[in-house]
Structure 1
Amino acid sequence: MSLMSIIGCTEFEKEIVRLLAEDGMIEHLLIMGDSRSEDLISDLEQKGLKPKVLFPETIPVGLKKSKDFNVLVTIQDANRYRSPQHMKKETYERIKFYGPVSDGILMFYGSCEGIFDDALLDFSNSNFFLELLSSENGKYMENLNKCLEGPQMRSGVSTELEDKYRNCYNRLKDLILSPGAN
Structure 2
Amino acid sequence: MPVLSIIACEMLEDELAYVLSEDHDLNQLIVVENRQSFRFVRKLKSRNCQPRLFPLDKVPIFLKEANNSVYNSVYSSVSVNILKFLLKFPFFKKIPHNSRGKSKEKNKEKPIVVVNTLKLGLHADCELLRSEIYQNIRKMATFSDGILIFYGNCGHSLRNTAVDFKDLPCSLYFLKDENGEIVDDCISVALGGNDNYAEVMQSGKGIGMIYLTPMWASSWKKMRMESNNTSDFNDSFLKKHYRKVVKINNKISKRDEFDKNVLNYSQTFDMSITEMEGSMEIASKSYLNAKNDVCKKVVLN
Fold equivalence (TM over 0.5):
yes
- The aligned counterpart of 1:59 is 59
Bigger Cα Rg: 2
On the 8 A contact 1:2/1:63 being kept in 2, the answer is no
| Structure 1 position 123, deviation (Å) | 1.2
Is 1:117 the counterpart of 2:117? The answer is no
Q: Say which is worse superposed, 167-176 or 87-96, in terms of deviation.
A: 167-176
TM-score, scaled to structure 2: 0.53
On the 8 A contact 2:141/2:147 being kept in 1, the answer is yes
On the 8 A contact 1:4/1:71 being kept in 2, the answer is yes
On the 8 A contact 1:61/1:101 being kept in 2, the answer is no
On the 8 A contact 1:78/1:87 being kept in 2, the answer is no
On the 8 A contact 1:107/1:131 being kept in 2, the answer is yes
Compute the RMSD of aligned alpha carbons: 2.8
On the 8 A contact 2:19/2:284 being kept in 1, the answer is yes
| Structure 1 position 27, deviation (Å) | 1.6
Q: 2:288 aligns with which of 161, 170, 179?
A: 170
On the 8 A contact 1:137/1:164 being kept in 2, the answer is no
| Structure 1 position 111, deviation (Å) | 2.5
State the distance in 2 between where 1:171 and 1:123 align: 19
CA 1:139–1:75 in structure 2 vs 1: closer, same or farther (change >3 Å)?
closer
Instruction: Please give the residue correspondences for 1:1-182 in structure 2 after superposition, counting only pairs within 5 Å.
Output: 1-61=1-61, 63=63, 66=67, 67=108, 68-80=110-122, 83-134=125-176, 135-136=182-183, 138=185, 140=187, 150=223, 155-157=248-250, 161-178=279-296, 179-180=299-300
Q: Say which is worse superposed, 102-111 or 127-136, in terms of deviation.
A: 127-136
Q: What are the ranges of 5 or more consecutive residues in structure 1 without an aligned counterpart?
A: none
| Structure 1 position 7, deviation (Å) | 0.6
Deviating runs (4+, > 3 A) in structure 1?
Answer: 151-154, 157-161
State the distance in 1 between where 2:185 and 2:124 align: 20
Percent identical pairs in the alignment equals 22
On the 8 A contact 1:7/1:76 being kept in 2, the answer is yes
| Structure 1 position 127, deviation (Å) | 1.3
| Structure 1 position 81, deviation (Å) | 5.7
| Structure 1 position 173, deviation (Å) | 1.0
State the distance in 1 between where 2:277 and 2:290 align: 20
Q: What are the ranges of 5 or more consecutive residues in structure 2 without an aligned counterpart?
A: 68-107, 177-181, 189-196, 198-219, 225-231, 233-244, 251-275
2:30 aligns to what SS in structure 1? strand
State the distance in 2 between where 1:174 and 1:61 align: 24
State the distance in 1 between where 2:7 and 2:186 align: 19
* Matched AA of 2:223: G
| Structure 1 position 82, deviation (Å) | 5.2
State the distance in 1 between where 2:139 and 2:291 align: 20
| Structure 1 position 110, deviation (Å) | 2.1
Higher relative contact order (CA 8 A, sep 6+): 1
State the distance in 2 between where 1:103 and 1:61 align: 16
| Structure 1 position 77, deviation (Å) | 1.4
